[in-house]
Amino acid sequence: MSDYGYTFSINGEFVDESDAKISVLDHGFLFGDSIYEVVRTVDGRLFAADRHLKRLHNSANALGMPLQRDDEWLLQHWRDMHAKRGGGESYLRIIITRGVGPLSLDFSDCETQNVVGIAKPLNRWPDEDYAHGCKIVLAKLRRNPKQSTDPAIKSGNYLNNVMALKEARAQGATEAVMLNVEGNVTEATTSNIFMIKDGIVKTPALKEGLLEGVTRGFILEVCRDVGLKCEEAVLSGADLLNADEVFITGTTRDVMPVGQINEEKLSRAPGSLTIKIANAYHEVLHDPKNSQ
Ligand SMILES: Cc1ncc(COP(=O)(O)O)c(C=O)c1O
């Protein structure tokens, strides 16, 4: 355990933070050449781990690093990480690196992937953000385009997001929404974004260049289930500012209403449809068919 109260593992073995080390020649450290997934628990069980595993494989294959551990091993390790923490709901991150190799961008000599586990209590975002809506900003920094390292890959290379979040924090906001180079909305630094206008729910289409959030996927299903029209669309910053309701989604945030974009306050936060969607998602979270 560290000062932060985290739990660590290296290649499946639980270690103290002082022993939670990989080589400085690991390409994950040198080049951000790694992938990761965060699974949370709900009622003490892994939530939607099947969907996270699927995305982990997609990320791995997109980077030409097929996983060296099988799904059963990964699932069991997520469960072991939760058990090791011993109580409460967990945030369970598994990072898989390219492995150790010569000091070169060429990874052909990186033979063995390293698997790093970091677990911590599932943090609660401020109640205030759910009660009255959070503040987000439209970042000046653009999302790296799909034609570069595709944001659909959940890689350890998050510097673009790190710099966008810096803009948010400088303005007292919880999240920064990034536009793509065409000026269309993509996503926030660790969440996807939705808006509602005239009763229609909209979220940026995947082709705009964004991570296909597991929560985003559930929200699209939930909207259909509760009879709301939901579209994957091309959205501008002005569309967000003119929306009736806006919310962001993510594994740790669930459905978080947005109350302010830059200096513009939204009149409905949370709006009635956001509340309806958040309540329906709450049922999804506790539905045993989504736990592993
Ligand atoms: C860039 C980015 N977009 C969206 C999300 C939300 O994805 P999920 O719902 O799978 O947590 C995340 C999660 O960390 C993210 O990093």
Query: 118-159 pLDDT, tens per residue?
Result: 999 998 899 999 999 999 999 999 999 999 999 999 999 999
- pLDDT at position 2 is 57
Average pLDDT for the chain:
97
Index of the ligand 1 atom closest to the CA of residue 214: 10
pLDDT above 90 covers a percentage of the chain that reads 96
Number of domains into which the chain is organized: 2
> What's the number of CA atoms in the CB half-sphere (13 Å) around residue 129?
18
What would the mean pLDDT of 274-287 be, rounded to a whole number? 98
Q: Model pTM?
A: 0.96
The two three-digit tokens of residue 246, written as one number: 């806006």
Q: Determine whether the shortest distance from the Cβ of 190 to ligand 1 is under 6 A.
A: yes
Q: Residue 134: phi, psi to the nearest 5?
A: -90, 170
Q: At residue 4, does pLDDT exceed 90?
A: no
Q: Is 94 domain-assigned?
A: yes
Query: What are 65's two structure tokens?
Result: 């690093």
For ligand 1, pick from 143, 160, 178, 251 the residue to mutate: most ligand atoms within 8 Å of CB.
251
Tell the residue nearest (CA) to atom 5 of ligand 1.
191
Task: Specify the CATH number for the domain of residue 53.
Answer: 3.30.470.10
Q: Are residues 168 and 252 in the same domain?
A: yes
- The pLDDT of 181-195, averaged and rounded, is 98
Strand ranges (DSSP E) for 43-133?
45-46, 90-97, 115-121
Give the phi and the psi of residue 25 in degrees, each rounded to 5: -90, 5
Q: What's the average model confidence in pLDDT over 152-181? A: 97
- 88 Cα: distance to centroid of ligand 1 (angstroms): 22
Q: Residue 52's domain spans which residues?
A: 7-121
Is residue 144 in a domain?
Answer: yes
What pLDDT sits at residue 6?
96
Residue 217: inside a domain, yes or no? yes
Atom of ligand 1 nearest to the CA of 252: 11
Output 243 or 124, whichever has higher pLDDT: 243
